[in-house]
Structure 1
Amino acid sequence: MKHAGLLVTALLTTASFAHAAPGLTIYGGGYTWDTELEGDVASGGANIDMQDELGFDETDQNVLYLGVEHVVPQLPNVRLRYIDLSDSASNIISNNFEFNGQTFVANTRVATDFDLEMIDGTFYYSPLNNAIKVDLGLTVRRMDGDLRLDGPTEGTSLSINETLPMLHGGVRAELPLSGLYVGGEVNAIAYDGNRMNDYNARVGWRSDYLLGLELGYSRMNIVLDDVDDLDTDLDIGGPYLAISLSF
């Protein structure tokens, strides 16, 4: 969570300017994302199942976001989002496997630390913005992560540091009941055997007093082909309940 405080500080610092600038909207929020980590990883050997072999299961992840929308047509709206996908597990493995040059032996306990943080900068326009709002733009995602495996006598780790551009699309529709809305969004890229995409679907309510609530489901797929000596095919998804502020 080393980047999380920056978004909180930015929200508190910039909120006071929203009322002083006509046509400027500042919004932000955060939530705990109840995720399940599925899929496999590999480095120089066979695929290793994150659940069946390494013992990963459901866990809570943290997401924070801060956005600014305005009425200047030539400039994009901007949203920053921080995603913390860190988790750990320990399991007695059922098969021998090799990872990053180390051999882990069946029937021994392997402890795994999965630490992945993402910072998204999304730059988008809203060509339709009334009862139905449509957003189109670009997300630039910075990923910083580590995967470490430790057995009784052996241990190894890999780091990944990548910056990716992704296409962004979103839609939101206001419902007849006051303050209620439904919506969703997607970010996606595919290149050279690598693929990353995420989406969410949500229903929310915004009060007349800045505060809002949002219930949704979000899912992310990360496919890496020999990126920093690491192969992955991971699915991370689950429901969330968010609290939001809008100025």
Structure 2
Amino acid sequence: MKKTAFSATLVALFTANVQADTVGLYLGSQIWQSEASGIFGEENRLIDFNLKKEQQINYFVAVEHPFPLLPNVRISSTTLDTTGKATLTQAFSFGSETFPIDDDVNVSFNVSYIDYTLYYELFDNGLFSFDLGLTARDFSGAVTVTGPKIIDDDDDCPQTSQGNPCTSTPTSSSVTPTGKIKTDEIEPMLYVATNIILPLTNLSVFAQGDFSLINDHTLFDYHVGLSYDLVKSRVGHFNLTLGYRAVKMEFENLDNLYTDLEFKGAFVGVIAHF
């Protein structure tokens, strides 16, 4: 079924009637207050680390043109950084390290991705537009779990036969158990976007999303919101955006990483169109 949908999307893209009549450059950025929830770990043991709410900064650049059959191009970058901690109720293995029961462990979730999107503007009548395309989502980063520091005291002081006191200085060393899994994989996704201009106002409603097409992963990333025209001039157009974004990542063995996570929250952003 997914292969059929994928093929149909390709046919639609390469038979599209491109609507843009000028070359345009779009630059945008978001500040996103993302709240993380869910579980992750290795195959047989997933844990809720009580991940913290964090502020993320994301940005994109896009180029649209009027040339038939050639797709428009969009490149965006998203960072998902958060931390958390948990007290283990069972032994937990992660990244070749095993943490015993009752350990207080900390996690650093630092995963980012760059989206390389080719899309067509299938329809645009000045008030309503609809885009369809394909995205290659390139993941990178790492998830690190650390346990409590272990201190090894070396107080070995052999006695002489005459019972002379030990003259050596006791030494100690410490080690922090650390398990780490790096992410480095590309996921194909379906890209859709729409924009509806509200007549007699400087407002428009927009929605955009990427949705996984193949493999065993459940992955989607969408945002919806309002855009307000701040400035319209010959130099360019500048818009303020406000909305809600959600990212769902349910991975089955992404470089040995298993997740059922969701990042969601409000964002504010700016878009410049030249």
Q: For the superposition of Structure 1 and Structure 2, which TM-score range results when normalised by the shorter chain?
A: 0.7 to 0.9
> Residues 84-135 of structure 1: CA distance to partner in whole angstroms, max 9, x if unpaired?
1122234444544232343323443212111111111111111111210000
Is the 2:52–2:82 Cα contact (8 Å) retained in structure 1? Answer: no
Counterpart of 2:63 in structure 1 is 68
Distance in 2 of aligned mates of 1:91 and 1:194:
26
- Kept in 2, the 8 Å contact 1:32–1:60? The answer is yes
Indicate yes or no: 2:147 matched with 1:151.
yes
1:186-245 CA distances to partner (integer Å, 9 max, x unpaired)? 211143421211111111112314221001111111121122111111111111000111
Q: Does residue 99 of the first structure (1) align with residue 94 of the second (2)?
A: yes
Larger mean CA deviation between 114-123 and 40-49 belongs to 40-49
Q: Name 2:162's counterpart in structure 1.
A: none
Q: Which residue of 2 aligns with 1:86?
A: 81
Give the conservation status (yes or no) of the 8 Å contact 2:77–2:112. Answer: yes
Residue 219 of structure 2, aligned match among 187, 196, 205: 196
Determine if the alignment matches structure 1 residue 168 to structure 2 residue 191.
Answer: yes
Contact residue 160 and residue 228 of structure 1 kept, 8 A: yes
Between structure 1 and structure 2, the one with the greater Rg is 2
3-state SS of the aligned residue for 2:200? coil
Percent sequence identity is 27
Length, aligned pairs only: 222
5+ residue gaps, structure 2, are 1-20, 151-176
Contact 2:54 2:81 in 1 (8 A): no
SS at match of 2:137: strand
TM-score (norm 2): 0.76
With normalisation by structure 1, the TM-score equals: 0.84
CA distance in 2, matches of 1:107, 1:204: 49
2:130 maps to 1:140: no
Aligned counterparts, 1:30-41, within 5 A: 30-41=29-40
Inter-partner Cα distance in structure 2 for 1:33 and 1:104: 33
Instruction: Tell me if structure 2 keeps the 8 A contact 1:146–1:160.
Output: yes
For the aligned residue pairs, the C-alpha RMSD in angstroms reads: 1.7
Please give the residue correspondences for 1:14-53 in structure 2 after superposition, counting only pairs within 5 Å: 23-49=22-48
Q: Which runs of 5+ in 1 are unaligned?
A: 1-21
Q: Is the 8 A contact 2:190 2:213 kept in 1?
A: no
